[in-house]
Amino acid sequence: MAEAVVEVHNLSKRFGTFTAVDGISFEIQQGEILGLLGPNGAGKTTTIHMLLGMITPTSGTIRIFGLPFDDHREEILSQVNFSSTYVSLPQALTVEENLWVVAKLYGLDRVSSRIDQIIKRLEMEEFRTKITRRLSSGQMTRLTLAKAFLTEPKVLFLDEPTGSLDPDIAEKTRALIKEMRRSSGLSVLYTSHNMREMEEMSDRIIFLSRGKIIAEGSATAIKSRFGETELEEVFLKLARGGAPFHR
Amino acid sequence: MKFHRIAALLSRHLYLYRRSFPRVLEIIYWPFVDLVIWGFITVYLEQYKGSLPSFVTFFLGALILWDILFRAQQGITISFLEEIWSRNLMNLFASPLKPSEFLAATMLLSVAKVLAVSCVTVVAALLFYSFNVFVLGLSLVPFMLNLIVAGWCIGVLTTGLIMRYGQEVEVLAWGLVFLFQPISCVFYPLRVLPQWLQTIAWMNPAAHIFEGMRAVITTGKFPLHELAWASGLNALYLAALVLWFHMMFATCKEKGLLVRVGE
């Protein structure tokens, strides 16, 4: 049986009277891709922020690699990375310079060869010396993905990672994630509003609504339980207040 | 030219002022600070016009040294703002980087900025006014180091406030340091201030530094006690402010502000 690299138990986050995340528990196994689905404001991004230590939970526990997050922040974050459409990189630096800074921040060795490798994999050669401010949104997304992959993390949090990519690069990005999972046992928490992508990528899906887990299982199991042929139909049903899926 | 478009733009900016206390404060703040500083300079000149020694040394030296404090503060605060502007904070703080490491890096950066800016101002003063700041001698070095630390203190304070209250208080990056200028006694001696303000100024390390610098110019002796006071107060404030910054950081994570600070 695979080992759980991320263990979340009874995690909650309240901002004043508003509850963003409400007592959720889940695990991500080594080499597993877990999809996090839900409408806007469901608590997906807040969950990822708590897993990255950017927001302190109100209650509950987070263990990554078997270690409590609060006591082992530095050790954990050196093996974790993320990519989000809501986060950018310094605009005045070139693509290469930004990757250099990230590599130094994580204390990586063989920096040049790692950068060359990731630039080649994500087909960024033509804009590697370009100033970040001048990148198109698709190129910017590739840069933030390159930043995430560069550190060869064991756990990756991807918040709508292919949102602004063309189908070709999006497909190559998904292939890269899958290959990293195969070669290094990478575990991924993945959010996307692209249901086909979610179905293709995820071994298991968690559906969040108003901060609570209301459905969990493989895409096939969830579709079958709700009597739908498309995940999108399930999404609409659940997001509009359909009956929760009881495990 | 259409007035409704001009009115629309006017409204766009007035809306900001209606909801933003720091912006309103800024309208009052600069004239007030200018009035206080130049008022005290005038009092000084009035009282001591016949016996002002080394006039140029006093004012140009003070200006160059004040710039050191200002740049040291900016080195920290502007570095933080750069991260906000480029939406890069999460890349930093979701990495193994610690807040103390972030502060250390910005402090080092501020030293580099101070060195660069000082070169320019020192050379410019020499070329345009034939003023050599090094007439102050070796005593300049410990005082300059203390000015940098005083700048760091204000920089950490400003950065913590921007982190906590967001871009709403961004103007503090340029303005807060000037709140300390009247009580730093940059251009006039401490004795010019009213008694109650002297007590406050006495708790400001920068005031001891500028008093010390004036003592070097007028007496030629090194005022060790001023240096000791400046160093002691700086050490105390820096330790307290770094601790406070860590508490602010924890509060921001608690309130979810760290991920929203650039919005």
Interface contact flag, B253 A53, Cβ < 8 Å: yes
**Spatial separation of the C-alpha atoms in residues A21 and A49, rounded to whole Å:** 11
8 Å CB contact between A10 and A61: yes
Q: Is residue B31 very low, low, confident or very high in pLDDT (cuts 50, 70, 90)?
A: low
Higher pLDDT, B263 or B163: B163
**ipTM of the assembly?**
0.90
In the prediction, which pLDDT does B100 show? 92
Shortest Cα distance from A109 to chain B (angstroms)? 16
**Domain final residue pick, A125, A152, A179:** A152
In the prediction, which pLDDT does A246 show? 45
Q: Between the CA of residue A178 and those of A20, A44, A65, A187, B93, what are the distances in Å?
A: 31, 22, 20, 10, 27
Enumerate the residues of chain B whose CB falls inside 8 A of the CB of residue A89: 86, 88, 91
Higher pLDDT, A117 or A243: A117
Give pLDDT tens digits for A64-91: 999 999 999 999 999 999 998 878 898 8
Domain limits for position A136: 88-152
8 Å CB contact between A173 and A163: no
Q: Are residues A206 and A135 in the same domain?
A: no
- Residue ranges of E strands in chain A: 4-15, 18-29, 33-37, 59-64, 67-68, 80-84, 155-159, 187-191, 204-209, 212-217
**Spatial separation of the C-alpha atoms in residues A200 and A42, rounded to whole Å:** 22
**Domain final residue pick, A127, A152, A177:** A152
Q: Is residue A92 very low, low, confident or very high in pLDDT (cuts 50, 70, 90)?
A: confident
Nearest CB among B85, B97, B256 relative to A55 is that of B256
Q: Are residues A183 and A245 in the same domain?
A: yes
Shortest Cα distance from B103 to chain A (angstroms)? 14
Interface contact flag, A49 B254, Cβ < 8 Å: no
Shortest Cα distance from B164 to chain A (angstroms)? 14
Q: Are residues A146 and A160 in the same domain?
A: no
Query: Does the pLDDT value for residue A50 go beyond 90?
Result: yes
Which pTM value belongs to this model?
0.87
Give pLDDT tens digits for B204-230: 999 999 999 888 877 878 899 999 999
Find all residues with CB under 8 Å of B228, minimum gap 6, and list them.
none
Over range B146-171, report the average pLDDT.
93
Q: Are residues A200 and A218 in the same domain?
A: yes
Interface contact flag, A54 B91, Cβ < 8 Å: no
In the prediction, which pLDDT does A35 show? 95
Give pLDDT tens digits for B123-139: 877 777 777 777 767 77
Total number of domains constituting chain A: 2
Give pLDDT tens digits for A113-163: 999 999 998 889 999 999 999 998 888 988 999 999 999 999 999 988 887
Q: Could you give phi then psi for residue A188, rounded to 5 degrees?
A: -130, 135
- List the single residue in A with minimal CA-CA distance to B84: A90
Q: Are residues A159 and A147 in the same domain?
A: no
In the prediction, which pLDDT does A98 show? 93
Q: Are residues A49 and A137 in the same domain?
A: no
What CATH number is attached to the domain comprising A161?
Answer: 3.40.50.300
Q: Is residue A247 very low, low, confident or very high in pLDDT (cuts 50, 70, 90)?
A: very low
Q: Which of B86, B102, B255, B260 to mutate to test the interface with A (most CBs of A within 10 A)?
A: B86
In the prediction, which pLDDT does B254 show? 96
Interface contact flag, B256 A89, Cβ < 8 Å: no
Q: Are residues A127 and A166 in the same domain?
A: no
Q: Are residues A99 and A36 in the same domain?
A: no
Nearest CB among B82, B86, B95 relative to A105 is that of B95
